[in-house]
Amino acid sequence: MTESTKALSFSSLSLHEAARFALTAALSEGLALGFLDVSLSLSRRPAGALRHLGGALAPVAASSGAFFFFILIILLPCALLPARTLGQGKGALLVSLATGAGTFLGLAVFYNLTRLELNAIQTRTLILAICLSLAIGAHRHDRARAVWTDSRMPPGIRAAFLSLPLLPVTGFLFVWGWAYRRAAAPADSPGPWVAAFSITGALLVMAAIHLAPRVYVERWLGALALLVVAAPVGMWLFNGSRHLPPAAAARTHAVHKVLFLSIDTLRADAVSALNPVAPPTPSLDSLASDSVVFTRAYSPAPWTLPAFVSMMTGVAPPVHGVKSPALRIPDTLTTLAERMRESGYVTAAIGHNPWLRPEHGMSRGFGSYDICPRDAALLQTTRAL
């Protein structure tokens, strides 16, 4: 279903039309900048907290809201001025301000210029971004005054408002999918993902150009903004365990205590419960008599570090990529300890193994990580247990 719309007049914008133009521009650019901001953050360093799409939309909502109000504050003073104050130049000035502000904020996000403390290179980049934004804004102002002389708003500007946030939204979904949902090694080429994004983006732009003259653009943008805000709120409301503090959440589990015991380089035929001719291992035999025993369990790697990473992440070495001592668990993978902590368990690790050091990422998710201590400290802790 499509809706007829009343075209804006750039020759004599009324107060209502100018305010609607400012609101539409702020919605379009705010959403685009919010998705761009989070997409760039994901591409630089994916965070484990954003593995779920609903959780990833929470920073998008916060960033989009900040950009929306910033742009609206810039446009509203011009929009609220009486038409007789600026005459026919009011519409062109609004377009110039929206274009310049959007260009500057986009460059600031892309080059990470939003921090208060900038080095010399970033300062020069900021100055260049300001100059470029002013030049583009001035160019759009001259073009608006030269072209938009009638009482109808060109369809191109409506298509731009509608398609502008769609491209960053598509890019965000592909960046998020590349960071968290691809079932391949981290070194794989992103070529198919880039091709899919390009095709999808082109189709969305074509659809926006077709729909822009037939729909209320501001309503569609408002619906998209509402969806971005409602998704993380709904996730928080319908996930009951999030309402409970960690101690209370842990009490909701049927199993209150979980012990993960790992003995490095222990062969199955060295346990007397599995090999009657092996030297006696009474403690392990007692545990085996009251446990489910798997007689055909194979290590995914022949040495400690990649094998233990697979146990902690649930993926094979070709997926997590930790195949040498210089590597660590990728931030895109959630560890068993992180899952336990998110579920409300108090997590701690005690042991002695040089391959399980924090620099390999093994300490993620543990509230207390005491690996490779001195032998006396290890003996004292073991006796206390």
Q: pLDDT digits over 11-26, tens only?
A: 456 777 778 888 889 9
Average pLDDT of the chain, as a whole number: 77
Kindly tell me if the per-residue pLDDT of 168 is higher than 70.
yes
Strand pairing partners for 369? Answer: 349
- Which range is most confident: 73-87, 144-158, 272-286? 272-286
Q: What pLDDT, on the 0 to 100 scale, is given for residue 147? A: 63
The strand pairing partners of 368, in sequence order, are: 348
Q: How far apart are CA 163 and CA 155, in angstroms?
A: 12
pLDDT 10s digits, 250-276: 455 566 788 888 888 888 888 888 888
Q: What is the pTM of this model?
A: 0.60
d(CA 10, CA 148): 6
Closest by CA position to 19, among listed 28, 29, 11, 8: 8
Q: Are strands 368-371 and 348-351 parallel, antiparallel or unpaired?
A: parallel
pLDDT confidence band for 57 (50 / 70 / 90): confident
Phi, psi values for residue 368, rounded to 5°: -135, 125
d(CA 13, CA 169): 31
Residue 131 has pLDDT above 90, yes or no: yes
The tens digit of pLDDT for each residue in 186-199 reads 445 567 777 877 88
Of the chain, the percentage scoring pLDDT greater than 70 comes to: 76
At 45 the pLDDT is 65
pLDDT at residue 347, as a whole number: 85
User: What pLDDT, on a 0 to 100 scale, did the predictor assign at position 378?
Assistant: 44
Q: What is the pLDDT of residues 307-344, one digit of tens each?
A: 888 888 888 888 888 888 878 888 788 888 888 887 77
β-strand partners of 349: 369
235: confidence class by pLDDT, cuts 50, 70, 90: low
Query: Nearest 5°: phi and psi at 200?
Result: -65, -45
The pLDDT of residue 101 is above 80: yes
pLDDT at 248 over 60: no
